[in-house]
């Protein structure tokens, strides 16, 4: 018998957060997220919960957890795409079709009770947080704030009637192999005369974060499934970036003193927490701080990048993106960061994909977003 239980208390939440550690115990590429971070993510401390209503469930067999799932309603998403939308997320389960069927039946029943008829996912908890089901690239560990998965997940999800909506790509760039062709260098030199690339001003950090938010919401607003960041969400993200990202890894591009694009380079936290098994006590904090601030990590991720919409289809837009990527090369080299993940990139974003591939980046992971009409 498969029993589906609603997550209703802290004990249930603990089981929900720690279940993947048993599921992925034999996977050398699994990196367990920090439990304290996951607990805050699934609480009112996550500013996204101001516009997201969600519920989580556990699947149990013989009193043992064998699966989990969430269902969510995002009011900001509904304002843009209709009052009948809903989402699923954080799906993890043993390879048992009955477990997947019962989990999705439960999540879909809850979504239906909220008026949902169009379901997309997985999101944890919306598209501006961890998104997509890994379908290619299982042989390497996930970068910071990216998901992992099991190869059988995609077929099990599709058996529930879900079809591919769109794919998200992660690109890998080895810094020593990064190269700009003579023609690209010429374009960059021409545009650099009209564009100023500067570091984010830490003395005015809160205001600068809202500058980044405005650029992001402008640049991404026509993308698949876009939901704007709220001021509170970006401010909270800023509080986290302030401690995790060195001051020379956030750059803003300006034209005539007006911000038009930005990039954020995040040291790969997953590399630093790989052996902590999700725990910061008793010595995890010290190890994490030492690795991030002293010994350093050898990889990084660009989790946030944006170019204002009015420049994306101009001759300057792609070159501005190149100038921002180029701005990270020197600080990466100084910190002995040898490789960086650019993620995620919509498969339909041929402009950015072309830029990355021209300078030596390779698409090495693919994440899929699914959809279903109820």
- Residue positions counted in the chain: 374
Together in a domain, 20 and 74: yes
Question: What does the pLDDT average to over 100-113?
Answer: 98
Do 127 and 193 lie in one domain? The reply is: no
| Residue 127 confidence class, pLDDT cut points 50, 70, 90 | very high
The token duo for 194 is 């009209």
Domain containing residue 323: 173-368
Residue 110's domain is classified under what CATH number? 3.40.630.30
Full-model pTM? 0.95
Q: Are residues 111 and 76 in the same domain?
A: yes
373 within domain boundaries:
no
Q: Are residues 316 and 242 in the same domain?
A: yes
* pLDDT confidence of residue 178: 87
Same domain, 179 and 165: no
Residue 159 lies in a domain: yes
Residues forming a β-bridge with 362: 172
In Å, how far from its chain's centre is CA 80?
A: 21
Dig out the tokens for 47 from the structure: 């500013």
Q: Provide the pairing of β-strand 85-93 with 118-121.
A: parallel
Residue 32 sits in the same domain as residue 121: yes
What are the angstrom distances between the C-alpha of 293 and each of 7, 77, 124, 237, 286? 37, 38, 28, 19, 10
- Asked if 181 and 127 sit in the same domain, the reply is no
Q: Residues 19-58: pLDDT tens digits?
A: 999 999 899 999 999 999 999 999 999 999 999 999 999 9
Q: Is residue 374 domain-resident? A: no
Asked if residue 291 has pLDDT above 80, the reply is no
Q: Do residues 205 and 112 both lie within one domain? A: no
Q: What are the tens digits of pLDDT across the range 212-270? A: 999 999 999 999 999 999 999 999 988 888 888 888 999 999 999 999 999 999 999 99
Percentage of the residues of the chain whose pLDDT score is greater than 70: 97
Which pLDDT does position 283 carry in this prediction? 62
Total domains, the chain: 2
Residue 8 lies in a domain: yes
Whole-number Å distance between alpha carbons of 98 and 89: 18
Dihedral (CA of 188, 190, 193, 195) sign: negative
- The pLDDT of residue 284 is 63
Domain edge (last residue) among 138, 169, 200: 169
Residue 28 lies in a domain: yes
* Structural domain ending residue among the three candidates 126, 146, 169: 169
Across the strands, what pairs with 68?
Answer: 58, 92
- Residues 171-225 have pLDDT tens digits of 999 988 889 999 999 999 999 999 999 999 989 999 999 999 999 999 999 999 9
- Cα–Cα separations (whole angstroms), residue 274 to 5, 59, 144, 207, 281: 30, 27, 11, 34, 15
Cα distance between residue 328 and residue 297, in whole Å: 15
Structure tokens at 332: 């990466």
């Amino acid at each position: 018998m498969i029993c589906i239980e609603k997550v209703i208390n802290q004990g249930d939440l603990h089981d929900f957060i720690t279940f993947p550690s048993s599921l992925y115990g034999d996977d050398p590429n699994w990196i367990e997220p920090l439990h304290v971070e996951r607990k805050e993510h699934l609480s009112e401390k996550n500013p996204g919960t101001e516009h997201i209503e969600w519920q989580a469930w556990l699947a149990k067999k013989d009193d043992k957890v064998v699966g989990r799932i969430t269902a969510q309603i995002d009011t900001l998403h509904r304002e843009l795409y209709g009052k009948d939308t809903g989402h699923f997320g954080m799906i993890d389960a043993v390879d048992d079709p009955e477990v997947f069927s019962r989990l999705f039946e439960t999540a879909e029943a809850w979504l239906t009770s909220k008026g949902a008829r169009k379901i997309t996912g997985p999101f944890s908890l919306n598209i501006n947080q961890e998104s997509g089901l890994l379908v290619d690239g299982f042989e390497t560990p996930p970068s910071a704030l990216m998901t992992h998965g099991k190869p059988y997940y995609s077929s099990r999800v599709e058996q529930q009637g879900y079809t591919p909506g769109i794919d998200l790509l992660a690109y890998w760039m080895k810094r020593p192999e990064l190269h700009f062709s003579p023609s690209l260098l010429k374009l960059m030199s021409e545009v650099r005369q009209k564009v100023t690339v500067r570091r984010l001003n830490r003395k005015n950090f809160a205001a600068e974060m809202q500058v980044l938010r405005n650029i992001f919401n402008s640049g991404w607003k026509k993308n698949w499934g876009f939901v704007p960041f709220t001021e509170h969400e970006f401010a909270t993200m800023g509080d986290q970036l302030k401690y995790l990202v060195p001051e020379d890894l956030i750059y803003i591009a300006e034209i005539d003193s007006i911000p038009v694009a930005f990039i954020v380079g995040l040291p790969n936290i997953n590399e630093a927490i790989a052996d902590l098994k999700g725990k910061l006590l008793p010595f995890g904090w010290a190890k994490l701080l030492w690795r991030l601030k002293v010994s350093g990590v050898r990889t990084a991720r660009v989790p946030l990048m944006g170019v204002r919409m009015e420049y994306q289809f101009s001759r300057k837009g792609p070159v501005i993106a190149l100038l921002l990527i180029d701005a990270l090369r020197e600080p990466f080299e100084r910190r002995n960061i040898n490789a960086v993940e650019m993620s995620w990139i919509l498969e339909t974003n041929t402009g950015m994909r072309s830029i990355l591939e021209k300078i030596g980046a390779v698409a090495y992971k693919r994440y899929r977003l699914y959809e279903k009409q109820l």
